[in-house]
Amino acid sequence: MQQDIYDSTFVKEMFNSMPSSYERMNYITSFGFSIRWRKQFINNLGQSDQPVKVLNMLSGLGENWKMLTRAYPNADLFALDFSEKMIQISKNKKYT
């Protein structure tokens, strides 16, 4: 039986199985553009030293956190992802 690649359970299990290689593979398969796209997106948001709340949806391994905390130094940053393994690894990153 063929897997339904759009089934949420399948997608969740796939991301839970790949956290150790996710950043590297994302970089390779996007030819390095994944980093450029993140930077461009966050730069387009602008910057603010005002207290704001930032919700990073599908936060993965927290690849955006360093740029977000630089752009919004007084922000409350909330990360959301459905992959428990990604969240577990991202909690060990120190981006402040």
Q: pLDDT by residue (tens digit) across 82-94? A: 999 998 888 887 6
Q: Choose among 58, 1, 73, 70: nearest CA to 26.
A: 58
Break the chain into its structural domains and give their ranges: 8-90
Reported as type and span, the H/E element at residue 4 is none
Q: What pLDDT does residue 94 have?
A: 63
Q: Which candidate, 38, 35, 20, places its Cα nearest to that of 89? A: 20
Per-residue model confidence (pLDDT) at position 91: 83
Residue 95: what pLDDT? 58
Regions in the chain scoring below 70 on pLDDT: 1, 94-96
Helices (H), the chain: 8-16, 22-29, 33-45, 65-71, 84-90
